[in-house]
Amino acid sequence: MKSLRKPIYATAAYNTVSLGTGRKEFHPKKPRPGIEHYIEEAGRGALAQINDTANIDEGVIANFMAPRFNRQGNLPALMPLIDAKLEYKPLVSVEGACGSGGLALTTATKSILSGMADTVLAVGVEVQNTVKAIYGADILGGAGHYASQRKSGHAYFFPSKFSDRAGAAYEKFGYDKVREAMARWYERAVLNARECPKAQEHHNSTEDLFATGMTRPNGKTFCDHINVYDCSKVSDGASAVVFASEEGLSKLGVDKKDTVELIGFGQVVADISKDPEDQTKLTTSARAAKAAMEMAGITPKDIGMLEVHDCFTIGGILSLEAIGICGSGEAFDFVREGGTAPAGAMPTNLSGGLVGYGHYTGGTGVRQAADIVMQFTGKPDGQKLVQDANKPYGLMVSMGGNDRTVVSCVFKKVR
């Protein structure tokens, strides 16, 4: 197994508010910030934590569907809006559907490992409240194989794909157990989001979240096996983080105590034209997580916190099994019993995850990394991790499409 040729550090993390339905300031009929605003805010928030933008060697921006949501391509050329000192530097964009943010992290890492850069600014962004939900569902359908799957697919294409996964889990492991676990996942996502002022569900004041999550799915109004609370919301937002070598940290004037070390990653892609062989398993995520842990030289027992891609509650639960936190069929009871809570056996998605914080699609992977950086450096946006000294590792999974393009990263707290 290949290992990193030199230490890589992540620092200067920043997340914008995840704007969309649920936020008090969101109004669907009033003008809202455009994609330029979010790129500028996230980038400037990160660069305010270093000494001089001139010391950034390269930049990478992650996004999924700006050409359709915003009629804007060539996103690297928007990065100089962050700071004029970025102009004329090597700036690139990456796209891997909902896993685009994860690809930004590995792109930054590989550039530093190659020796071509010591410091890379990674930004992830999506602004998708520009169209009605039904049209947005069609745009996001591009994360699957549009030519062979979209025409015969549900109007709400991706909710339907994960509805199929939930249905398979009901059949294999029992409806009551699976449904209750999904409702508990929703409950925990909102509870965590309430502690995070930037989260989309921060203002959610529903008294009985579990009962809401237990709303019985109705295929006549939505999907057969999931309800709307099982879904991450349509979100506008951006995140940024700076990756650097040891030489890069010195250039940036950043102390190691304000960083986390990237010690392993896995980048795995499966055939987008094929359906999952087993709807109850995230096989590509499992391969990515395994590769990341093998490079890092750790096992699931060493992990102190998780950031998983819960675009739907069933996806979050199945991620626990893909990573190896639970065996097949065991994650449902683990979640029902509070295993993912901040004080649970495996603290997960402490700012709310995609269901609670929001899912600005192409930016989510960067947000996950930013949250680990902030947690491990003692500067979280909300819920604070009680660190287990014996588990100084955080693992994230950034998943694109129906478990097709996946990046997993392992970060270590710098002591």
CATH number (domain holding residue 377): 3.40.47.10
Per-residue confidence in pLDDT tens, the chain, 415 aa: 578 999 999 999 999 999 999 999 999 999 999 999 999 999 999 999 999 999 999 999 999 999 999 999 999 999 999 999 999 999 999 999 999 999 999 999 999 999 999 999 999 999 999 999 889 999 999 999 999 998 888 888 999 999 999 999 999 999 999 999 999 999 999 999 999 999 999 999 999 999 999 999 999 999 999 999 999 999 999 999 999 999 999 999 999 999 999 999 999 999 999 999 999 999 999 999 999 999 999 999 999 999 999 999 999 999 999 999 999 999 999 999 999 999 999 999 999 999 999 999 999 999 999 999 999 999 998 888 988 889 999 999 999 999 999 999 999 999 8
Tell me the HSE value of 186 on the side-chain side, using a 13 A CA sphere.
Answer: 27
Please give the pLDDT value at position 415.
82
Query: Dihedrals φ, ψ of 67, to 5°?
Result: -60, -25
CA distance 295 to 397: 15
Could you tell me the two tokens for 227?
A: 């309800």
Domain that holds residue 100: 8-132+234-259
| Dist CA 322 CA 280 (whole Å) | 10
**E-assigned strands of 167-252?**
236-244
Q: For residues 192-209, b (16+ Cβ closer than 10 Å) or e, as one string?
A: bbbbbebbbbbebeeeeb
Is 245 found in the same domain as 224? no
Indicate if 63 and 176 belong to the same structural domain.
no
> 70 with 219, same domain?
no
Distance CA 248, CA 105 (A): 16
Q: How far apart are CA 304 and CA 413, in angstroms?
A: 10
On whether both 185 and 201 belong to a single domain, the answer is yes
Q: Which residues, in sequence order, are CB contacts of 29 under 8 Å at separation 6+?
A: none
Asked whether residue 2 is domain-assigned, the answer is no
Q: Judge if 158 and 63 occupy the same domain.
A: no
Q: Residues near 285 by Cβ (< 8 Å), separated by ≥ 6?
A: 309, 319, 322, 323, 397, 399, 403, 406, 408
Looking up tokens 């070390």 gives: 261
CA end-to-end distance (rounded Å), the chain: 26
What pLDDT is recorded for position 387? 81
Two tokens at 93? 């964009």
Separation between Cα atoms, residue 265 and residue 290, nearest integer Å: 9
199 in the same domain as 87: no
Instruction: Kindly list the strands in the beta sheet with 236-244, ordered across the sheet, starting from the edge strand earlier in the chain.
Output: 91-94, 58-62, 119-127, 236-244, 8-15, 259-269, 405-413, 393-400, 303-307
3-state secondary structure of 158: helix
Residues 238 and 207 in one domain: no
Residue owning tokens 């410091």 = 119
CA atoms within 13 A on the CB side of 399: 28
Residue 246 within a domain: yes
Residues 203 and 164 in one domain: yes
In a domain, 1, yes or no: no
What pLDDT score was predicted for residue 386? Answer: 85
Beta bridge partners of 312: 231
Residues 43, 75, single domain; the answer is yes
Residues 245 and 143 reside in one and the same domain: no
Q: In whole angstroms, give the CA distance from residue 72 to residue 34.
A: 11
Q: Judge whether 3 lies within some domain.
A: no
Give the phi and the psi of residue 224 in degrees, each rounded to 5: -65, -35
Report the DSSP beta bridge partners of residue 10. Answer: 243, 260
Same domain, 221 and 369: yes
Q: Distance between CA 135 and CA 234 in Å, rounded? A: 12
- Note the Cα 384 to chain centre separation in Å: 18
Q: Positive or negative CA dihedral for 102, 105, 108, 111?
A: negative
How far is the C-alpha of 331 from the C-alpha of 205, rounded, in Å? 27
* DSSP letter string, 33-62: --HHHHHHHHHHHHHTTSS-GGG--EEEEE
* Number of structural domains the chain divides into: 2
Q: How far apart are CA 76 and CA 94, in angstroms?
A: 10
How many CB atoms are located within 10 Å of the residue 48 CB?
10
- Comparing CA positions, the residue from 199, 236, 202, 198 lying closest to residue 362 is 236
- The answer to whether residue 295 is domain-embedded is yes
3-state percent breakdown (helix, strand, coil) of the chain, nearest 5: 40, 20, 40
My answer on whether 120 and 226 are in the same domain is no
> Distance (Å, rounded) from C-alpha 181 to C-alpha 139?
30
